[in-house]
Amino acid sequence: MIRSAVVLGAGTMGSQIAAHLANAGVPSLLLDLTPEVAREGFERARKLKPDPFFTPEAAALVSTGGFDQDLARVAGCDWIIEAVVEREDVKQDLLARVERHWRQATIVSSNTSGIPLAALAKGRSGAFRRHWLGTHFFNPPRYLRLLEVVPTPDTDPAVVERVSRFADRRLGKGVVIAKDSPNFIANRIGLYGVMRILEALASGRFTIEEIDAMTGPAVGRPKSATFRTMDIAGIDVLAHVAANLAERLDRDADRSAFVLPGFVPEMVRRGWVGEKAGRGFYMKQSGAERSEILTLDPCTMEYRPKRSARLAALEQAQTIQDPRQRIRSLFLSKDRVGEFMRDTLGATLVYTARVAREVAHSIDDIDRAMRWGFAWDRGPFELWDSIGLRDVLEATHTTEVPPIVDEVLARGENAFRTGDVPPAAPDLQILRSAKERERVVKKNPGASLVDLGDGVLAVEFHSKMNAIGADTVQMLQAGVKEASRNFQALVVGNDAPDFSAGANLMLLLLEAQEGNWEDIDLMIREFQRAMMGLRYADVPVVVAPGGRTLGGGCEVVLHGTEVQAAAETYIGLVEVGVGLIPAGGGTKEMVVRNTEHLPSPNVDLLPWAQRAFETIGFAKVSTSGPEAKRIGYLRSSDGITMNRERLLTDAKARALALARAGHQCPVRRAAIPVGGEPVLAALKLGIHLAWRAGRISEYDAHVGRKLANIIAGGALPHPARVTEPYLLDLEREAFLSLCGERKTHERIQYTLKTGQPLRN
């Protein structure tokens, strides 16, 4: 069991590792040369965006100190993580000092990105080396899932298992066991690919904008693509890692592959190292009226206005829905896009196959490392399979076939696997495993019912962005009925990056523009009925959100018996942004949650009503699962899962525990306290003052008054107690009314087009 930790080095990585340990509830001591240096590093981390902490309160679990005064405190901890400057001599000297205070059985690891672990432990005792290994976190540690665990020949296998299990379950990491080779797995392969891209840029055949267009979502990579990512990570960091790798590789050919083109060292010399310096490959220039993004021309080393990338093959490929076919089409296209793909991605695939056995224990680990560490949708060997081994070799004119490829071809096969990379453990991605075993009970275009085994049924959303439409609602209702008849419990969740982006706004807008009010009324009634069905099901219902959980997705969460949420869950009732109010029971539920534990029956209801109003009216969205508890979208008793791939496993276990404990259908709530006219008048006054002060628009105020009416319980002359159906009726009436407003239509159209709210 790891109950406490010490992090040595309060730089960018060390301070964020300490922060993520705090997110996991592990107290950590952050040390640097002096207490002041450690405190400064910690304070810098607290100001970072995105935030390395789940909640501000988590920061209280991190304390700071200096090596001279506090190094002896390592004797009282379970895990020591070294994260000082990437210099072998500095690390070795510090480890020698650590061993003087080291307690047998304490794990000691290094966050080095590529210095050999065996070399760092030179001179340490045998007992120390048995508890020594590498734990390479990726930046930022909270958000990038990969942890490369790097044992040496001396490392006790039990220590590897202990760290791996803790990192998986408590830190939420995707753990890959890497070999102690230069830069391990992900950086070795990822950096090789970056080098080939920089070569393509240096050739003058492609612009920065074109390359970013070809290396982003079109090929299953993040939107930041190549050069925006480099700017965020730091071009000086790139240069340092490349120099380190070139120095440590044995073969001349390998070393030459990691030599940077001249414009990169020049950028570092000038201090143009990315976002932290205000300029890198891109620069934001502020003007009198608006800001403009400029792009570096590496030939002239001057910035110019950003240009649009016009690549016909890329535009055509966007219509190909299957990512395998899209990658194959781009890779084999007979134009500039195909040329770029073969020179960069093709070369990277061949190189990965060549070094696979040197850096990793399996091709699965390599694919997982690139997925988790570089956010690739598909790993290198999955890409080999998508294109076809023979086609990759032919298109890249590879004459020296890597042995790992030759062995597959010798068997008469043209792919490494018949499917995608499998889950890292049997208890990860259990929904995917159930579907592969053909356990789908029922399915429509929006959702499926899947038998997870052991008496637990799952409702899986799988529409675009998991938007909730009639198909989804139908399957939620069917899931409750099926679970009540033939299962012990129901789980609502999926393996997608986002649980649900909310209601299908496009469908709603079309119906509203056509004036189909009866159809809209029926849609709302059915959604409300589905939510109440979840709330009052005969079996326990555990909702398992992760990623974006907005609008109607949040309402599903609010109506579960209990919730098992991913740590990275961004949950919120955001309907006011499109000129609507939550009408699937969301407004009703926030009223209930803010009044169910009143200190006395005769208490003034305004503060509680105000809290519910502000949560919905300000469209608050949590920045983590734990913060969702602070806002009120989750209850304090709801569970948090750190590892997203373990979410449905934990939700299933929670559902079974509720069933075995003797779940009983909750009593219907028939006495919900509302404030009536006195609370409504106070809320309206606040809205008016905000409008007069220019903080909200006139239409914001209009929507706000509709919301206030529901939260106050309507125009009741005095405080009263009402039923859930009463509040649901108020929700539906307000929603229908707002659907008829032109400005609501404008807001919906703008959001569908831009993904942003409109304040009209």
pLDDT in tens, 437-447: 999 999 999 99
Residue 287 has a pLDDT of: 72
157 neighbors 149 (Cβ within 8 angstroms): no
pLDDT at residue 285 above 90? no
Q: Helix 35-47 crosses helix 12-23 at what angle (to 10 degrees)? A: 70
What does the alpha-carbon distance between residue 568 and residue 636 come to, in Å, rounded to a whole number? 16
Mean of the per-residue pLDDT values for the chain?
95
> Rounded distance, CA 584 to CA 503, Å?
10
- What is d(CA 530, CA 534) in angstroms, rounded to the nearest whole number? 6
Q: Per-residue pLDDT tens for 692-747?
A: 999 999 999 999 999 999 999 998 999 999 999 999 999 999 999 999 999 999 99
From the CB of residue 615, how many other CB atoms can be counted at a distance below 10 Å? 20
Residue 171's pLDDT band, with cuts at 50, 70 and 90, is very high
> CA angle, 98 as apex, 93 and 104 as ends, to 5°?
140
For residue 92, what are the contacts with CB-CB under 8 A and spacing of at least 6?
A: 120, 122, 123
Distance CA 401, CA 390 (A): 10
Residue listed under structure tokens 């506090």: 70
Q: Which residue(s) pair with 566 in the sheet?
A: 641
pLDDT band at 419 (very low <50, low <70, confident <90, very high): confident
Under DSSP, the state recorded for 620 is: -
d(CA 376, CA 364): 14
In the sheet that holds 447-453, the strands lie side by side as 440-443, 447-453, 456-461, 489-493, 541-544, 562-566, 639-641
Topology agreement, domain 5-177 and domain 430-739: no
Q: Which H, E and C letters describe 431-476, residue by residue? A: HHHHHHCCCEEEECCCEEEEEEECCEEEEEECCHHHCECHHHHHHH
Of 217, 202, 210, which is closest to residue 311 (Cα–Cα)?
210
> Interhelix angle for 186-202 vs 363-374, to 10°?
60
Q: Which two three-digit tokens encode residue 170?
A: 């408590």
The two tokens of residue 714 are 């309507």
Cα 183 versus chain centre, distance: 25
Domain ranges for the chain, please list them.
Answer: 5-177, 215-410, 430-739
- The pLDDT tens digits of the residues spanning 466-505 come to 999 999 999 999 999 999 999 999 999 999 999 999 999 9
pLDDT given for residue 420 in this prediction: 87
Instruction: State CA 42 to chain mean position distance.
Output: 23
pLDDT for the residue numbered 114: 82
Q: Does residue 217 have a pLDDT over 70?
A: yes
- Interval 240-260 mean pLDDT: 86
The answer as to CATH 3.40.50.720 being correct for domain 5-177 is yes
Which two structure tokens, joined as six digits, stand for 724?
A: 């859930």
Contacts of 94 (CB under 8 A, 6+ apart): 8, 67, 82, 84
Q: Distance from CA of residue 273 to its chain's centroid?
A: 26
CATH architecture under which domain 215-410 falls: Orthogonal Bundle (1.10)
Specify the residue for token string 């310096």: 277
Helix 505-513 vs helix 517-535: crossing angle, to nearest 10:
150
Question: According to the model, what pLDDT value does residue 733 have?
Answer: 97
**What's the pLDDT score for residue 113?**
87
For 199, the token pair is 């070569």
pLDDT the model gives residue 276? 87
Between CA 573 and CA 557 the distance in angstroms is: 11
Q: What percent of the chain has pLDDT over 70?
A: 100
Question: Which residues are 493's β-sheet partners?
Answer: 544
Give pLDDT tens digits for 59-118. Answer: 999 999 999 999 999 999 999 999 999 999 999 999 999 999 999 999 999 999 889 999
- One DSSP character per residue, 533-546 reads HHHT-SS-EEEE--
The residue whose two tokens read 């926030």 is 590
Quick one: pLDDT band at residue 259, thresholds 50, 70, 90? very high
Label residue 288 by pLDDT band (50, 70, 90). low
Model confidence pLDDT, tens digit, residues 666-684: 999 999 999 999 999 999 9
DSSP 649: H
Q: Identify the residue whose tokens are 């120095």.
A: 247
DSSP 60-123: GGEEEEEHHHHGGGGGG-SEEEE---S-HHHHHHHHHHHHHHPPTT-EEEE--SSS-HHHHTTT
Helix, coil or strand: residue 294: strand
Q: What percent of the chain has pLDDT over 90?
A: 92
Q: Are 23 and 46 in contact (CB under 8 A)?
A: no
Is omega for the bond preceding 217 within 30 degrees of 0, making it cis? no
SS3 state at 549: strand
Cβ–Cβ < 8 Å for 489, 540: yes
Topology of the domain covering 430-739 = 2-enoyl-CoA Hydratase; Chain A, domain 1 (3.90.226)
CA distance 498 to 570: 9
Residue type at position 625: G
